[in-house]
Amino acid sequence: MIKVGVAGYGVIGQRLADGVALQKDMELVGVADVSPTLAVRALKEKGMPYNLYNALPGNETLFAEAGIPVSGTLEELVQKVDIMLDATSAGVGAKNKEIYAKYNKKAIFQGGEKNSVADVFFHGYANYEKGIDKQFLKLTSCNTTGLIRAVDCLDREVGVEKVAITIIRRVADPGDYHRGLTNALQVEKAPSHQALDLMTIMPHVNATGILVHTPVTHGHIISVVATTKKKINKAETLSFFRKHPRIRVVSLSEGFLGNASLFRYARDLGNPRGDMYEIAVWEDSVVESGNDIMFVINIPQEAVVIPENMDAIRAATSMQTDKAAGVAATNNYLGLGKWLKK
Tell me, yes or no, if 142 is annotated catalytic.
Answer: yes
Among residues 142, 167, 279, 297, which one is catalytic?
A: 142
**Structural domain span for residue 322:** 2-140+305-341
Q: What is the mean pLDDT of residues 197-226?
A: 91
A 10 A CB-CB count for 325 gives 13
Model confidence at 326: pLDDT above 80: yes
Q: Which of 325, 329, 308 is nearest to 120 (CA)?
A: 308
Q: Based on the fold, state whether residues 157 and 293 are members of the same structural domain.
A: yes
Pairing relationship of beta strands 160-170 and 220-228 according to DSSP bridges: antiparallel
Which pLDDT does position 174 carry in this prediction? 67
Q: Based on the fold, state whether residues 147 and 290 are members of the same structural domain.
A: yes
Model confidence at 195: pLDDT above 70: yes
Q: Which of 143, 123, 139 is nearest to 299 (CA)?
A: 143
- In the chain, the percentage of residues whose pLDDT exceeds 90 is 84
* 290 torsion bin: left (phi>0), alpha (psi -120 to 50), beta (else): left
Judge whether 88 and 96 are in contact, CB under 8 Å: yes
Which pLDDT does position 331 carry in this prediction? 97
Q: Is 173 annotated as a binding residue?
A: no
Edge-to-edge, what's the strand order for the sheet holding 52-54? 52-54, 26-33, 2-7, 83-86, 106-109, 136-139, 120-122
Model confidence at 177: pLDDT above 80: no
Question: What backbone phi and psi angles, to 5 degrees, belong to 331?
Answer: -60, -40
Q: Based on the fold, state whether residues 152 and 285 are members of the same structural domain.
A: yes
Q: Based on the fold, state whether residues 47 and 149 are members of the same structural domain.
A: no
Q: Based on the fold, state whether residues 17 and 78 are members of the same structural domain.
A: yes
Q: Based on the fold, state whether residues 163 and 292 are members of the same structural domain.
A: yes
Q: What is the mean pLDDT of residues 171-181?
A: 61
**HSE-up (13 A, CA, CB side) for residue 76:** 13
Which pLDDT does position 172 carry in this prediction? 64
We report the CATH number of the domain holding residue 175 as 3.30.360.10
- Share in percent of the chain as helix, strand, coil (round to 5): 40, 25, 35
Which pLDDT does position 183 carry in this prediction? 73
Q: Based on the fold, state whether residues 294 and 148 are members of the same structural domain.
A: yes
Secondary element (H or E) of residue 137: strand 136-139
Model confidence at 274: pLDDT above 80: yes
| Per-residue pLDDT tens over the stretch 111-165 | 989 989 999 999 999 999 999 999 999 999 998 999 999 999 999 999 999 999 9
> Distance (Å, rounded) from C-alpha 16 to C-alpha 62?
24
Q: How many domains does the chain have?
A: 2
Model confidence at 217: pLDDT above 90: no
Judge whether 277 and 306 are in contact, CB under 8 Å: yes
**Residue 148 corresponds to which amino acid?**
I
pLDDT bucket at 186, cuts 50 / 70 / 90:
confident
